Amino acid sequence: FYAGFDIARYLWGYNIPTRDAASLDLVDWLMKRPEWKIMDGRDHFLVAGRITWDFRRLTDEESDWGSKLLFLPAARNMSMLVVESSPWNANDFAIPYPTYFHPAKDADVFFWQNRMRKLKREWLFSFAGAPRPGNPKSIRAQIIEQCKKSKMCKLLECDFGESKCHSPSSIMKMFQSSLFCLQPQGDSYTRRSAFDAMLAGCIPVFFHPGSAYTQYTWHLPKNYSSYSVFIAENDVRKGIVSIEETLQQISPQQVKRMRETVISLIPKLVYADPRSKLETFEDAFDVSVQAVIDKVTRLRKNIIQGRTEYDNFVEENSWKYALLEERQREVGAHEWDPFFSKPKEGDEEASSGSSTEAAKSSWKNEQRSQSR
């Protein structure tokens, strides 16, 4: 079942029954299967291929966005693999966005990694993107302004007309010539651009922990400072931090170590050509499937032992659990709590940057890129 393809047909201009029909048929069929009944679906997973917000419609109002697949009782037991997960729900898991590179054999990966190591990087940092004037919480305008003022920054401005941002070669050429690549939030928490940058051996600079650190916990190191730089977006918004100065303070030796870590991550961030199989590397698909298998194995073991994986599990704190150290079983206050305050109903300021609006914007931009 291709959940992403299904909902993509009906995101605009279709009523609720149409948007939900295939999802309801799916869970109805699954729940009748003997395989499902063994663990009530807890050993099942589904690859959605889109951001989670396309499958989390909160109401049955026609104006609300997407389908309610992930809120269906049966689906809450499954593991849904999406390119962006919800920080407040436990049944979805983020996997990398597909990039332009799909190696057919190990030699392709070795060749690419060695090429990224040898490239001369003339820019300290770069940014590819457009401002978000309709989103008061976006810091893209400030990032673009800082980049324009710096002689060490390369800017690729993306507007809604003809743009080099729609050219893979232009984007990758810029990333490959940069030491650091700025990755603020996209239309939602995450951006495909972050994976294009790492594929290019460019050290990502994140401004929100939900853009990578709490998302791709199967594929990226828990020690985020080993492969990336974090600058709190609020500091950029307030104008109290210089991106250029922050990056210049990182020693050449540290930059080299970080870049090598990024390059070493490339195999598990790309999806190999499906017609072949890598021999010595695990690609993003291998890592994801193994993580699901491990999750189900732990669940079965806990059922046999009559225990739960965590003490006092709170689903709204889902983003915290993957960050726990080994043997930790309970979450508490976290330095990133302010980044994940859940929008409240009726809060206009919160809803202006809500997941629904983010999903709509993501879909619109997807259509623009496909129309060229």
The total of other beta-carbon atoms located within 10 Å of residue 236's CB is 20
* 97-134 pLDDT tens trace: 999 899 999 999 999 999 999 999 999 999 999 888 77
- Which of 365, 370, 351 has the alpha carbon at shortest distance from 58? 351
**Do 314 and 242 belong to one domain?**
no
At 312, is the pLDDT very low, low, confident or very high (cuts 50, 70, 90)? confident
pLDDT value at position 311? 77
Look at residue 284 and tell me whether its pLDDT is greater than 60: yes
pLDDT value at position 350? 42
Look at residue 359 and tell me whether its pLDDT is greater than 80: no
Least-confidence region, from 85-94, 210-219, 234-243, 359-368: 359-368
Look at residue 70 and tell me whether its pLDDT is greater than 90: yes
Identify whether the C-beta of residue 323 lies closer than 8 Å to the C-beta of residue 317.
no
Look at residue 37 and tell me whether its pLDDT is greater than 70: yes
Identify whether the C-beta of residue 4 lies closer than 8 Å to the C-beta of residue 83.
no
**Do 232 and 148 belong to one domain?**
yes
**Domain end call among 269, 303, 330:** 269
The answer to pTM > 0.95 is: no
Query: Which residues form the domain of 87?
Result: 3-97+283-370
pLDDT value at position 362? 53
At 349, is the pLDDT very low, low, confident or very high (cuts 50, 70, 90)? very low
**Do 308 and 331 belong to one domain?**
yes
Mean pLDDT of all residues in 38-57: 94
**Do 248 and 114 belong to one domain?**
yes
At 328, is the pLDDT very low, low, confident or very high (cuts 50, 70, 90)? confident
Q: Give, in degrees to the nearest 5, the angle at Cα 139 between 182 and 261.
A: 20
Tokens 């007309």 -> residue: 161
Q: How far apart are the C-alpha atoms of 41 and 89, rounded to whole Å?
A: 17
Structural domain contains residue 276: no
**Domain end call among 269, 296, 317:** 269
Buried b (16+ CB within 10 A) or exposed e, 116-152: beeeebebbbbbbbbbbeebeebbbebbbebbeebeb
DSSP category for residue 169 = H
Q: How far apart are the C-alpha atoms of 317 and 353, rounded to whole Å?
A: 20
Look at residue 308 and tell me whether its pLDDT is greater than 90: no
Look at residue 227 and tell me whether its pLDDT is greater than 70: yes
Which residues, at least 6 apart from 320, have a Cβ–Cβ distance to it below 8 Å?
331, 334
- The number of domains in the chain is 2
**Do 196 and 138 belong to one domain?**
yes
**Domain end call among 269, 295, 310:** 269
CATH number where 212 lies:
3.40.50.2000
Sheet containing 203-206, strands listed edge to edge, beginning at the edge strand earlier in sequence: 153-157, 123-129, 178-183, 203-206, 229-230
**Do 86 and 124 belong to one domain?**
no
